Chain A
Amino acid sequence: MIETVLDILSWALLCLGGAFVLIGGIGALRLPGFYTRLHAASLTDTMATILVFSGLILQAGFSLASLKLIAIMLFLLLTGPTASYALANAALQSGMEPDADRLGGKASGGAG
């Protein structure tokens, strides 16, 4: 009984994580401009890491594999946002301005 519940819970987490990765991918392809794309990819990626690894830990149960999964999750949670920050920072340093006006104009233009 408890195994079935755990299985369903872990699969729900895994599927939700996969959905987040998919949304992030669509966002990285569809959004205008560098910073918005980075925003889409990085935030969903962090959320997906937590969800997918929680699902995998539930699958692995109380074992050495779970410990290793937790270690990998911590590593990814540290490095992923750092890499996104470094990327955005490097873009800003090299003179790429976040172009809020153009995005606003485009959105209102689309509405009109």
Chain B
Amino acid sequence: MIIVFGLFLLSLLVITALAIVRTENLFVAVMLTSIFSLLMAANFFILDAADVALTEAAVGAGITTVIFLGALALTAEREKPSSAGWRFPLLVVAVLATLIIYATFDKPRLGDPEAPVHQHLAPWYLEKTPEYMDFPNVVTAVLGSFRGYDTLGEVFVVFVACIGVLFILGVKPQAGAEPEIEDRAGLRHHLIPQVVGRILIPFIILFGLYVQFHGEYGPGGGFQAGALIATGVILYALLEGEAAALRAVPRPVLLALVVGGATLYGGVGVACILLGGNFLDYSVLSADPVVGQQMGILLIEAGVGMAVCGALLSIFHAFAARRIRL
């Protein structure tokens, strides 16, 4: 049964991808990209990767779409007609597709317990997580502690991406024209979306916090929570106008979140060294190694959540603050 679902979702993915390539309207392409991400999230969920599915749904289908739309408001809606020929790209794609399909023949079957990936490190992770951390979600244990270096790298990538976007787009809009815009900004005069949005925003933020602090026990963690909380604030910005959202969460707070999150993560690692352990070896943080591990993972997840939330909101504001070209 699950195979049928998988086939259905994968064929929809292929159709969506083809539609994205074929459409010349960029707005349609953005919406299709969002649908693609949602289908991908469903696929991940079928493969029992609930953490990844949550990330894909929150970031891919949610925030990226809003940021794309913000970017689209600054440019034209239609794709520029391309003068390049189609034969060479088609050849490259055909050769690569053949190679990839050829490579899949060597892949183990879906769910094969004898697959190399299930023989290498995974058994060790599954066996040691209850012993070292004493909580059920192995994904969080791998992400936060066993492979803490990788996650630190990811947080720094988010940090650098945010800095990069701010360098390119983060020019302050000129003062003067703002009050006039503000009165008409957002959906202030549309009662129904505003009322419903106001009801929903607290619950979205609450759900984000739940995902943040429940990451050891269920799917979730800093990345998903950061994206969810950012979604709540972006919804507020869409309803009340961007200026109101900036008043609620000002720019310095956003930058402090990004920098503070990355610093918190690195700082926990340094604290481990100072307490006599290795970098990011949380066991030394407390007298009981298990409590130390749990504390360390909680702290670095908080750092991840702060950095992701701050970075996504900074990027959103960087796009939204630009004057729309008419």
Contact = CB atoms under 8 A, between A and B. Distances in A.
A binds B: yes
Interface of A: 75, 78-79, 82, 85-86, 89
A79 B196 contact: yes
Contacts of A79: 196, 200
B199 A86 contact: no
SS of B interface (majority): helix
Interface residues of B, number: 8
B235 to A, nearest CB: 11
SS of A interface (majority): helix
A9 B110 CA distance: 35
B193 interface: yes
B190 A89 contact: yes
B192 interface: yes
Contacts of A82: 192-193, 196
Interface string B185-216: 00100101100100110010000000000000
Contacts of B193: 82, 85-86
A50 to B, nearest CB: 18
A86 B197 CA distance: 12
A85 B200 CA distance: 16
Nearest to A93: B190
A78 B199 contact: yes
Contacts of B187: 86
The 6 closest A-B pairs by CB, nearest first: A82-B196, A86-B193, A85-B192, A78-B196, A82-B193, A82-B192
Interface-centre pick from A75, A78, A82, A85 (highest chain B CB count, 10 A):
A82
A86 B189 CA distance: 12
Nearest to B187: A86
Contacts of B196: 78-79, 82
Nearest to B195: A82
A79 B196 CA distance: 7
Contacts of B199: 78
A85 B203 CA distance: 21
Contacts of A85: 192-193
Contacts of A75: 200, 203
Contacts of B192: 82, 85-86
Contacts of A89: 190
A86 B200 contact: no
Nearest to A71: B203
Contacts of B203: 75
A61 B199 CA distance: 28
Contacts of A78: 196, 199-200
Contacts of B200: 75, 78-79
Given A78-B200, A79-B196, A89-B190, 10 more contacts: A75-B200, A75-B203, A78-B196, A78-B199, A82-B192, A85-B192, A85-B193, A86-B187, A86-B192, A86-B193
Nearest to B197: A82
A53 to B, nearest CB: 17
B31 to A, nearest CB: 12
A75 B187 CA distance: 20
A67 to B, nearest CB: 14
Nearest to B199: A78
A20 to B, nearest CB: 20
A86 B239 CA distance: 12
A79 B195 CA distance: 11
A82 B198 CA distance: 12
Nearest to B203: A75
A86 B192 CA distance: 8
Nearest to B190: A89
Interface in B119-141: none
A62 B187 CA distance: 40
Nearest to A86: B193
A82 B192 CA distance: 7
B187 to A, nearest CB: 8
A79 B62 CA distance: 14
A75 B196 CA distance: 10
A78 B187 CA distance: 17
